[in-house]
Structure 1
């Protein structure tokens, strides 16, 4: 008998309840709505195994619309990365002002601190959810991959990661408790290796500079003086070079603002005592609470005070939370 915890979607005996039951099961991760033409007679499954520091599983889903809203993010306060390796089907994912198509033999990264919408046909995938901290140095680049497709069948390390994760799912029944931390550590290392820049993507010096700058930005988010001038002084680069390195993020200033607001969302949603909004503002480099609240509302569509209210509501219902949501929170412990 396996020592690993397993959570499975169990279809209700009444077919009329299937759609709502499926959406409820997905609710810890996505707000789901089945497509009008979804084939509910085909197999539907979601199996998740708790490997201690990683949640690994497989999914076969009908056509559906998936959304992770800013309010869901605020309510949960988790800081995880979800990676799906598509084995069949396709979807169109909208995130960070872009929309891309994900196909079989591609993986897609979901940064669970960022909103996203996915219009998916019937799909099958192998999945892994990891706390951001386990990806180590890749924290400097993983945010910009949110919602982006990457081929894995044609990339040896990514294909190795898929093979390992699908192997974990297949062998979970014989896994023992003392093996979990080694298996989840290997999963994290392989996933981190997936996001090393390809040699032909950009000059090596550019890649190294961007990683170093992103890491410095993460360390200095609380500093009001963090900005273009500070980065020019620190790294000896021109404004034009800084903009080129962060062109996909609409420039380095836009990247800094986004990282500050995402950090603020994480702080507002974290477990523990209720933080003061002014403290969160100062901790993320804003000069005052009013400026912070205005920027937060522009980004997420509601005020920081409403984010705190969402968090309080979620934690009041902690004891009755779905198994999957409880596991997600346990990854942060």
Structure 2
């Protein structure tokens, strides 16, 4: 190829002088535009009444929610065509939701129409504040309070405080839904002298000969099933407190506390199934160590040593149910638990 037909390769162009942009001039603050409420006292009074009305309605809605909680039946239904829902819950939600909306809308209207909206410029300064700067901040805060009209506009101040104070009433009233205080409910169960121990799935009574060393069985009192049809709510309460685990350990490996020498039957022991930490059901058993583990927070109990806590947050052992054998050879309870079952609570020592 001849030289005159070779492609022309352009070399890199020499960079020209760097153009330094001029800084953007400070545009300053735009002229302040006064609102109608700044120049017309009657307009400002109208807005004050509007805001106060919103706060007042919010207070009435909160009180209405408290009244509806007691007046509207819990099983009442509201239907809107194909949609339906619980009347009590819907009324509470609407009343409290609208009250919160009105408080927010009133605060926005107050800020937009009545509070001072003049723009200010504040120079940047070091993070550390001098005593003089702290004094300036305090003065600025007090000035802001004065400019907001909070101290001067008593109607808004009183209605807003009333609405916010009323919001605390539903929180107190709705605590009723948490149920009654435990009182002494955990101090007794449906276990009693002569009540048979049955498998909690098959409901078959358990004999000592049915269990082998190392076995753990989830069990319940025989009188629990009768409650299921008569009183479902009472059945659930009784089941939650009376659930037990039955385990068989070599008698030579059991450390029996004083006074419990006759609580077991040939190495068969019975303990509450409810963890003493927060009440989770337990049954994760390791037969070599005789440890049972709570799956919720890993509290570990030694069933061969009166179910003492060996690890975890539980503060006391699992309550033990004293066992005996009836005339037909089935395991039965000697009595109810001798201590409260379930999680610890503040009434206990």
- State the TM-score, normalized to the length of structure 1: 0.18
More helix by share: 1
Structure index of larger Rg: 2
Task: For CA contacts below 8 A with separation 6 or more, give which structure has more relative contact order.
Answer: 1
More strand by share: 1
